[in-house]
Structure formats: C-alpha cells, structure tokens
Amino acid sequence: MKTKLFNNLLLKLLSVIGAVVLWLVVVNIDDAVGSRPLRNVKVNMVNMEAITSQGQMCRIEEGTDVVDLTVYARRSVLNKLKASDFVVTADMQKDLQYGSMVKIEVEYVGDSTIERVDQNRENVLVSIEESVTEQFKVTVRTSGDPDKEKGLVVGTAVPEQSVIEITGPVSVVERIKSVVVEVNITGITGTMVRSGKLKLLDSDGAAIDGTYLEYYGKDQEFNVTVTTLNTKRVGISFDISKAAPEGCSLESISYLPETVTIAGMNSQIRSIYNLEIPPEALNPEGTMGKVEQRVDISPYLDDGLVIPDEDEREIVVTMEIVPHVSRSFFFQGEQVELLNLQPGLAPDWSESGTIEVTVSGVEADLEALAAEQMVLTADLSEYRRAGTYEIPVSVTVPEHIQVPEGLEITLTLVKAEE
C-alpha cells in the first residue's frame, strides 16, 4: 500500500515538473526575446552653457544629433515600447572629447524589463567656434501689384526695423551677405502693413540655415509698411545752357524716352507736366563731337516723387557738339549808335577810327551772318561834359553768335554850338 502511494506521489511530482517545463517552453515560444528598432531618436544636448559662457558657440554637425536604437526585450515588452521611454543625452560639460565629439548616453526610463539597447552612433559631432554679432540692413522685396485699375504703384516699403543684429558662430555669420523680407502687396491702396519672413542669403542668393543664429524676427512675422502712389505720364526738359564746353556749341540734341511715368501723391503730381533737368546733368566732362550719354534723372525729382519703372530712370541723350570758328567785322565810328547823348553835346568822329568786332560761333551761322545784322551801341548817359573818352561798345547779334567783351570806342564829345 505504501509503495503504491509513493509511486503515485512521484508521478504527481513528475507531472508538476513537466507542466512547468512545458509552460516555460510555451512562454519562450510565444513571448520570446526579440528586437525592435527606434529610428531618429533626438539627442538632447545638455550643459551647453559650459561653452556659451566662454563667448563661444557650439554648432552641431547636421544629422549627428539623432540616433537609431535597437532594443532587445520580450515581445510583450517590445510591443509597448516608445521613444519617450528612453532618455538620450550628450553632456557638453562631462562628455566632450577631443573638442569635437560628445558621447551619447542612452537610459531606459520605462517600467518593464529589457535585455539591452544598441545604438548606431556613439558621438554627436560638434564644431565649437567664436560667437560674433554683426549688423545687417533689411531689404524689402515685393511680389504682386497694388490696385492697377486705379493706376497705383508701390511708393515706399518700410520694414519695422531697417537694421537687425545677428549673433552666431563666426563661420555662419560671415556667410550672410543680405537680409531680405518678402511681402505680397496685391490689392494695396493707400498705406497698409504686410508681413513676411526674414531670409538670410549668401553671396549666391542661397538661403542660410539660421538654426544656430539669434536675431529679431527669427521665429515671428516681420512687418513692412507699404504705401502706394498715383502715377502720371510727363515730358522731360533738359537745360542745355552748359551742354557745350567753352568755345563750342550744341548743334543738335535728342533723347529717349521723351516721356516717363512718375509716381507721387495726387496733390503733388497734378501740376507737373515736364520734369526740368538742370544744366549740370548734360556732358559734365565737356566732351566734343558726337556725345552719347546716359543720364539718371531720378536724383533730380522733387522729394516724394519716384520713377517706378527702372528702365525709365536713365535717359539716353545724343548730342552733337562742334567747336566755334571766328570771323571779324570792321565798323566805322559813325556806325555806332549813341544812346543817351546829353543835350548840348555832339560827337566828333574825326578821331574815332575803326572798330574790329570778332565774333565766334558755328561755321554755318557765321557764314550766314551779315554786318547789317549786327548793331553797335554806346551808352553816353554818364558823359556830361565835352572831352575825349574811351566808351564801352555793346554789340547785338543774332542768336547763337558770341561776341567779345571789352570793346571800346575813342570818342570826342564837343559842345553842340561848336
């Protein structure tokens, strides 16, 4: 009886052990240890102030501040894992190596059991540089058009800050060549505020990554105040009085375009029909012969006026400037007309002699000039007594003819009764 009971107990123990083994086999088959990848887990950079406190900046090489993790655990655990269960850090103060690598530490903070974690990258690559601050002018670029039906154009586009300071690694800041804000001005009338994003551009016009830069407007809209102006088509008038150098004449002048569109406040442009361009704009170098000159007329506009079309701001002027020739004419004293001869006095022409008048001008004008077209006069209003005087003589000639200065006549005035 005892033998049977003992044998039965042994069988029961063997059954229990077999059941446990079978359970372990089933568990290991159904909930076996496996692996799961977690891609592009962000590395948190800590203790960055260890660098910035020394007037330096740390720039992370692109793509090295993310890591791929491979987690090994039972399948039941793997199914519940997420990236937030892991804290991935790189300590700038503790783990900076060789001045360019920061060791990546991975810590599991979940409440399950994992076997191990493998990572595809051991270090974050960094570049530590001097921090600099530079100032840059903000340039506005517009797209679209204001209300064309009303003949409006953009007058001014004023950014909320004309200059901004940018702080960052010297290698990045020195690449910045321009700072631009782009705004759409479609449908604007009068004055309105539009906003856009600041863009940092290099010398080729390519955008610069501002991740490691600090500046006003980096993470917010940048406002621009846009004002529209009325337009009007007007003519152009050049003052040609100084176009030809001394001893020369302007024989011909032509220019294109002959009219331009100006823009301004309606009250300002209403009375303008011609733009008056001053004499110093033409031929400032005093060139002779055929002269072709590009004249930028925009500096000569009144304040508040603009020429919206850049192609119309420069006028192509063609001039023909020829040197003067001379020709002499001779006149007798009696041919001089005496003005304001005082009562009781009379001229004595016996000693007056001949007056030579040498005129200059364009050859064609001088060839057509006759002595009869020249009028010589002497003003005697200051001569009130008889005597012999050197009296200035004025010569009146046709237009474009030049006469010398300082002509005089020797004239004797006598009492009329004598």
The DSSP code sequence of 324-352 is -EEEEEEEEGGGSEEESPPTTEEEEGGGT
Are the beta carbons of 86 and 63 closer than 8 angstroms? no
State the pLDDT at residue 18. 66
| Radius of gyration in angstroms for the set of CA atoms belonging to the chain, rounded to a whole number | 48
State the pLDDT at residue 30. 54
Instruction: Indicate the SS3 state at residue 93.
Output: coil
Are the beta carbons of 147 and 188 closer than 8 angstroms? yes
Q: Is the dihedral of CA 52, 56, 57, 59 positive or negative?
A: negative
Instruction: Indicate the SS3 state at residue 8.
Output: helix
* Cα distances (Å, whole numbers) of residue 332 to 25, 296, 371, 376, 405: 145, 52, 12, 10, 18
Which residues share a beta bridge with 260?
A: 234
State the pLDDT at residue 24. 55
State the pLDDT at residue 26. 52
pTM of the model: 0.52
- Exposure string of 171-193, with b = 16+ CB inside 10 Å and e = fewer, is ebbeebeebbbbbebeebeeeee
CA distance linking residue 200 with residue 212, whole number of Å? 13
Are the beta carbons of 332 and 354 closer than 8 angstroms? yes
Are the beta carbons of 247 and 270 closer than 8 angstroms? no
Q: Is the dihedral of CA 414, 416, 417, 418 positive or negative?
A: positive
- For the chain, the distance separating the N- and C-terminal CA atoms, rounded to the nearest angstrom, is 195
Which residue, 363, 292, 350, is CA-closest to 323?
363
**340: Cα separation from own chain's centroid:** 66
State the pLDDT at residue 22. 63
Which residue, 163, 241, 154, is CA-closest to 198?
163
Query: In the chain, what's the furthest Cα-to-Cα distance?
Result: 195
Are the beta carbons of 295 and 340 closer than 8 angstroms? no
Q: Is the dihedral of CA 240, 244, 247, 251 positive or negative?
A: negative
Q: What is the pLDDT along the chain (418 residues), one digit of tens a residue?
A: 555 545 566 666 767 676 666 655 555 555 688 889 999 999 999 998 888 777 788 888 888 999 999 999 998 888 888 888 999 999 988 888 888 899 999 999 988 889 999 999 999 998 888 888 999 999 999 888 786 667 788 888 899 999 999 998 888 999 999 999 999 988 888 888 999 999 999 999 999 988 889 999 998 999 999 988 888 999 999 999 999 998 888 889 999 999 999 998 888 899 999 999 999 999 999 999 999 999 999 999 998 898 988 889 999 999 999 998 999 999 999 999 999 999 999 999 888 888 999 999 888 888 899 999 999 999 999 999 999 999 999 999 998 888 988 999 999 999 987 5
Residue carrying structure tokens 């080729």: 204
Are the beta carbons of 318 and 291 closer than 8 angstroms? yes
CA distance linking residue 369 with residue 324, whole number of Å? 14
DSSP state of 55: T
Preceding peptide of 343 cis, ω within 30°: no
Q: Is the dihedral of CA 245, 249, 250, 252 positive or negative?
A: negative
CA distance linking residue 233 with residue 209, whole number of Å? 45
Which residue, 128, 130, 108, is CA-closest to 45?
128
Residue carrying structure tokens 């600090």: 214
DSSP string for residues in 100-112: TEEEEEEEE-SSS
CA distance linking residue 127 with residue 237, whole number of Å? 62
